Structure 1
């Protein structure tokens, strides 16, 4: 009996470009055989194999696009394919490897050890010496290589012995060391547009043989919106809906069917990745800009994505101090109480506490004057660290210190009628310096009037403002 040739999965590590398994020591793992077509996900069965089948990324794959040009020239270059999930990174890497048609190894950084990397590079060197061609190494989740492992690539990529094609959802300017990044082209992939997702929907629904079963307009629009530019999510949803249509003999697909299956596919968010920090940044900046609706939306995205509510609460505390400050002194206490309340009652009830405080912070008057004042004070203190403390502010704890003038001229503020003594408290070289300039908003309006009185009179000649 003739053995069947194992199909090549474009994401399967440990395979050369011609489908032959690479030696085990060259890759992190040899990978399981590709499942039979009956259980292969629809997204995999629909994976494009030619540039004309590819949907989206017209800036890279359109006429004159850099990746399309590389495919036409059958040329491999060291690069990083960077973009959110479901935008075609793995598909483009597979196309580039097929166009190159030379020795190619697929692996993933999660399982790639340093000894395995060194063996891969030795093999690449032998290949280059014997055939004068590089070894193309496609590394999924390349951002998971540690800094030492990334440094190992430098001489091999520099000399062209290895062509690295990295796949990542993380910003390479953060995830990769600068020397490696400088040797790579960075191709950034964008979420698919609604029209591009619509093309994929038509292709998937036709592939399932269900063109005769219509989708109601609002059902399709809901699916496209829910996919949020992620082709894989859309196709996964279409596959689930298609199975439901066949199982229940549905004459059409309405919004309730889409909602039923969309709820089973959770939003994707790497809690340590760029998307998480983008969402938390959007929450903070929406609060800063006094937009409670946007702040609630980004909070909801974080909660649905599985973010740690305690981290969110700590960020709310930071917003209270940094962006609201003394215009609404209750903000800090409420933010701290929100963290304590969540720790007491947990999810999901505790998430409502976070929403409550988020709205309070977003609608409170804003001021960063304490924050900027402290930054200025830090910079000034660093530049004048040698300035002595004025003697009248020093505590004369011994008679010897009294003789040297410690505490001489100090005035006890509570003995003065206005509660403010006419006494300078900064070093001589900094007298008159002002760091804190309160706004005319919220509680800072009263603080501003009080400071104006203090700075003008510095004594009990007038009654203080109420």
Structure 2
């Protein structure tokens, strides 16, 4: 029994595939493509353990196409060309079922490696399926990205993960021989982090740790038996997201000491400097925002600098940025404001723009009253004119609540002076 449980339970058909209903449910976009026999080149983007490799295999099987696979970690341009040559010989343009080339971790391909795929994708010699845990907008060249559909795979939810556990207990050749009572699942699910492969690996570890064939699994027994080895950092596996999470939360919690520790773990593990810098850039806006607008400037400069320099010097720039952000005042007011605004849009739909603030580039629009009664703020005292800018249906709605810090307290005072009681500042 050398094959891991996750591999033994790997689905072979769409009917067996768990989760991602938006893609492979009855009305899912990929389900429709498979039924029609028209498989576009695509990028599957999602965290580890969400079924990207499995899905690629199923697409090839159910569409009856030859299937080639490469890993971006150990494949070069020559390997790509060899596969493309085989694909061309097996049919290419002369069959409606051109071969599928699956490339795992396509974000690790260099520009030249990605360039070598362009003609084959464009000519239809292959259908490319790339899998990535990173945002393809940053990691896949625009020419290749424009030729592919991007499909997002989500972390498994609790129901999906519990279904996988039940499937393991009922269907696996080895585990089904044991009498297993799954009394509690919270610890297993929490440790998995939505990663199906990690869940099944932990579950198998737990089951094999018992001498008896009669097993009762509780949260306490799981935590007792799982031995977490945090000495090594696997930038391609499970700890990738755990450690970046610890890094970000340390900065959010204003602890520069913990921040540089987790940074060092990533640096020593050879983590991509741009991956770290992008997370700092997001944090500067999400967790600091208007409490210290300079944080975003520094994070952006750090991103540009490490993109140019690389290791080993980038570690210094990342350390400077991380410690600065950790020592900065915090506010998530901007983050919360856009969240509220998006929810309001979903609830209220496409409300009309008030006539007075509409654009009026044509004579007809002017005749219809577009832009009438618009008050140009600079023509008024303090460069402010009391005017309604929201649709009538949601006027007076406050979405931005400044945080309690020096800079945003000044924002609040500014808004209170201008708008009086309108928004309740």
CA contact (8 A) 2:329 2:405 kept: no
Corresponding position: 1:213 with 2:180 = yes
The within-5 A match list for 1:365-404 is none
1:86 aligns with one of 38, 49, 58: 49
- The CA distance in 2 between the partners of 1:301 and 1:72, in whole Å, is 51
Match of 1:61 among 12, 19, 24: 24
Contact 2:243 2:262 in 1 (8 A): no
Q: Partner of 1:138 in structure 2? A: 102
Do structure 1's residue 182 and structure 2's residue 146 form an aligned pair?
yes
Cα displacement string for residues 427-456 of structure 1 (whole angstroms, at most 9, x for unaligned residues): xxxxxxxxxxxx9966999xxxxxxxxxxx
Equivalences for 1:403-414 in 2 at 5 Å?
none
In the alignment, which residue of structure 2 is the partner of 1:258?
Answer: 222
Q: How does 1:290-439 map to 2 (within 5 A)?
A: 292=253, 303=262, 306-308=265-267
Partner in structure 2 of residue 102 of structure 1: 65
1:240 lines up with 2:205 in the alignment:
yes
Please state how far the C-alpha of 1:163 moved relative to its aligned partner: 1.0
Residues in 2 aligned to 1:164 and 1:182: alpha-carbon distance in whole angstroms: 12
Q: Structure 2 CA distance, aligned partners of 1:129 and 1:249?
A: 53
- Distance (Å, rounded) in 1 between the aligned partners of 2:408 and 2:20: 50
TM-score (norm 2): 0.57
Count of equivalent residues: 296
- In the alignment, the residues of structure 2 paired with residue 356 and residue 174 of structure 1 have an alpha-carbon distance, to the nearest angstrom, of 25
Q: What is the alpha-carbon distance in structure 2 between the residues aligned to residue 232 and residue 46 of structure 1?
A: 10
Contact 1:270 1:276 in 2 (8 A): no
- The residue that corresponds to 2:78 in the other structure is 115
1:269·1:276 contact (CA, 8 Å) conserved in 2? no
Note if contact 1:269-1:306 (Cα within 8 Å) is conserved in structure 2: no
Following the alignment from structure 2 to structure 1, what is the Cα–Cα distance between the partners of residues 126 and 201? 35
Alignment of 1:157 with 2:137, yes or no, is no
Offset of residue 125 of structure 1: 3.2
Superposed CA offset, 1:10-36 (max 9, x none) = xxxxxxxxxxxxxxxxxxxxxxxxxxx
For structure 1, the residue ranges without an aligned partner over 5 or more in a row are 1-37, 327-354, 367-438, 446-466
**Tell me, what secondary structure is at the counterpart of 1:118?**
helix
Per-residue Cα deviation, 1:192-220 (whole angstroms, up to 9, x for no partner) = 00111111111112231267332333xx1
Mark the CA change 1:135 to 1:302 in structure 2 (over 3 Å): closer, same or farther. farther
The Cα of 1:323 is off from its aligned counterpart by 7.5
- Per-residue deviation, residues 325-358 of structure 1 (Å, max 9, x unmatched): 79xxxxxxxxxxxxxxxxxxxxxxxxxxxx9999
2:45 and 2:134 in contact (8 A); partners too: yes
Q: 2:112 matched to 1:148? A: yes
- How large is the RMSD of aligned CA atoms in angstroms? 4.7
Give, in whole Å, the separation in 2 of the partners of 1:136 and 1:251: 43
> 1:172 is matched with which residue?
136
Deviation readout 1:48-81 (Å, 9 max, x if unpaired): 1111111110111111101222333344321111
Larger radius of gyration: 1
Measured in 1, the distance between the counterparts of 2:222 and 2:180 equals 14
Scaled by the length of structure 1, the TM-score of the pair is 0.53
Shift of 1:154: 1.5
Distance of aligned partners of 1:106 and 1:221 in 2 relative to their CA distance in 1, 3 Å threshold: same
Structure 2: runs of 5 or more not aligned: 294-321, 334-402, 410-425
- Which of 171, 175, 188 is the equivalent residue of 1:223? 188
**Equivalent-residue separation in structure 2 for 1:270 and 1:105 (angstroms):** 22
Q: Deviations over 1:165-186 (max 9, x none)?
A: 1111111111100010000011
The whole-number CA distance in structure 2 between the counterparts of 1:444 and 1:185 is 41
From the superposition, tell whether residues 162 and 215 of structure 1 become closer, same or farther in structure 2 (CA, over 3 Å): closer
Cα distance, 1:94 vs structure 2? 0.5
Describe the shift of the 1:303–1:257 C-alpha distance in structure 2 as closer, same or farther (beyond 3 A).
farther
Q: Is the 8 A contact 2:92 2:125 kept in 1?
A: no
Deviations 1:261-314 (A, max 9, x none): 43336696559x995897489548x74xxxx4xx67xx68984994359999xx
CA distance in 2, matches of 1:307, 1:43: 27
Bigger mean CA offset, 45-54 vs 135-144: 135-144
Question: Paired residue for 1:6?
Answer: none
CA distance in 1, matches of 2:259, 2:35: 45
Question: Match of 2:201, SS?
Answer: helix
Partner of 2:40: 77
Alpha-carbon contact 1:194-1:225 (below 8 Å) kept = no
Change (3 A) 1:442 1:256: same
Check the 8 A contact 1:78/1:157 in 2, yes or no.
yes
